[in-house]
Structure 1
């Protein structure tokens, strides 16, 4: 599948969580020293939806939220950002929304995440089977949805239905050890998911984890590209990224930024990258636009509210000296 022609339109169905983020105020304040916090939409999949929306795309989220005030906060925030939520189901009982308390500072940075009894892990077969995948350009998922049942089986069922509908599968590895019963289980499930997907995005640690050896991460990414993935993006932090396809292997740098925090970069990269591909941009240009979006987000407070618009991205690219390779 040609990288530039695989996405038709800019309407995406996204699997995964929506949560609440707390940020100590003002920026630079440690959690234990904070008197006030600001609240915003969080969760990797919801952040990706916001990021794509800021570039003119439409998204529909498939997940579960808790049937309480925090879950209703998430629903209100999805509405605020224009994210379709007809496939977001509220669940009662003891299930709770994800909550992340995250500092806007680099030195001694702390992000504390509460995920016990997570509502989003209750996504079921019925939830994913209710979606008309033929109405979308692609299915996007983060690896978090694969950590436990019933979410894991539901996600693989969604993969089957999306494939039957003829739309590509986009996979952000997004490995969070605290969500998994064991590293071995995670490595096996991620590898199985990767073999099914058309676009795979992860960092060197995540690909190394999938390979069972940090030094073998790039070989794992290359193997996935050889075995059928149209695009594999192997991110290396400050060293940039290596993007693999059947036609080429591209090395790109980063856009240096005065970062406030380390969080949100991956979600912003995904949004900028996928939106650029959907706009018909060449693969290298799409990667660089995603990288610029990542640099912009880490220099701002929060994640969802920090996602740049297309106009902001264009202004950044016009004023920045350009990407650098370390």
Structure 2
């Protein structure tokens, strides 16, 4: 068994990245500007991954910083509600703020307004990372957003070094968000560095294309990254499914069609479902399919963290839905 798969099977994850508050308009279909009711819950890509993992029976600790205010405390409370360990979250005072996303449950003309000015999650430091007991974990996960600014960028590369020294595999969700970065050139360079340091890389065709300098070059970039022995690269293509590459092999998988009520949250749920399924003993292909099912479940419900399925819910979905598209 490879060190990567062995680490995932250990099922204890340290996750780097942001938590945030999501506010989504109610009822389904209403635009944010026309809504008079919004539901609030946990958001932020890494926090969503943590919630998804815990709902599927894994253990997850979020490593980030949150603002010393009511919204920061709301996010801490919601993380604890979902069973996510918060012992490595530092509370930061001053004018730094936790992320806020305001969106709606609709696909047509979907709007997601994200507030990231003075983002507190970028204040994670190398000292924060050095306080982590990496021996308590079996693998680490990072979303690409953490690399968009300092000191979080250097801190996360330090965490990668510490994880490597502890023998832990590194799982990387490219998660490219242009609004967080100073320039596309810096993003392409830094995200490529992070990819080279990782053992499992997950991204969509646009993200790999961005790293390669053009969407038409994305698949070649993913294949190039997959040439490292033991590394797994998952190239997602939306409705066209995914290609999983490892040691010269390619696994092509489809999706589970559903009636979507929103487009966001799918990637976070895919990652949680993939890792929890590998940890539960499923083959890599089966785990990719279970991750795809998790993504379908999340886009068919309002919210992100609250829409993440439990294991019984995932199994019930798979039992009720015909086989995936090919």
The TM-score with structure 2 as length reference comes to 0.98
CA RMSD, aligned part only? Answer: 1.0
1:109 aligns with 2:121: no
Task: Tell me which residue corresponds to 1:212.
Answer: 213
SS at match of 2:168: coil
What is the SS of the residue equivalent to 1:85?
Answer: coil
Displacement of 1:70 after TM fit?
0.4
What aligned pairs does 1:66-81 form with structure 2 within 5 A after superposition? Answer: 66-81=67-82
| Deviation for aligned residue 1:228 | 4.5
Match of 2:133 in 1: 132
Corresponding position of 1:159:
160
Paired position in structure 2 for 1:146: 147
Q: Could you list the per-position Cα deviations for residues 113-168 of structure 1 after superposition, in whole angstroms to 9, with x for gaps in the alignment?
A: 00000000000011111001121110000000000000000000000000000010
Q: Counterpart in 2 of 1:169?
A: 170
Deviation of 1:23 after TM superposition, in Å, equals 0.5
Shift of 1:4: 4.1
- How do 1:241-260 residues align onto structure 2 when only pairs under 5 Å count? 241-260=242-261
SS of corresponding position for 1:93 = coil
The 3 A distance-change label for structure 1 pair 259 and 296 is same
Is the Cα–Cα contact under 8 Å of residues 212 and 221 in structure 2 kept in the other structure? Answer: yes
1:158 partner SS: helix
Runs of 4+ displaced beyond 2 Å: 1-8
Contact 2:4 2:169 in 1 (8 A): no
TM-score, normalisation: structure 1:
0.98
Residue 3 (structure 1) shift: 5.7
| Counterpart in the other structure of 2:89 | 88
Stretches of structure 1 lacking an aligned partner (at least 5 in a row): none
Q: Is the Cα contact below 8 Å between 1:4 and 1:282 reproduced in 2?
A: no
Unaligned runs of 5+ in 2: none
Q: C-alpha deviations, 1:159-204, integer Å up to 9, x for none?
A: 0000000010000000000000000000000100000100000000
CA distance in 1, matches of 2:276, 2:200: 13
SS at match of 2:153: helix
Matches of 1:227 and 1:184 in 2, distance apart?
24
Give the CA deviation at 1:319.
1.1
Deviations 1:38-69 (A, max 9, x none): 10000000000000011100111110000000
Report how far residue 36 of structure 1 moved: 1.1
Match of 2:292? 291
**Quick check: 1:14–1:49 contact (8 Å CA) kept in 2?**
yes
Q: How many residues are aligned here? A: 325
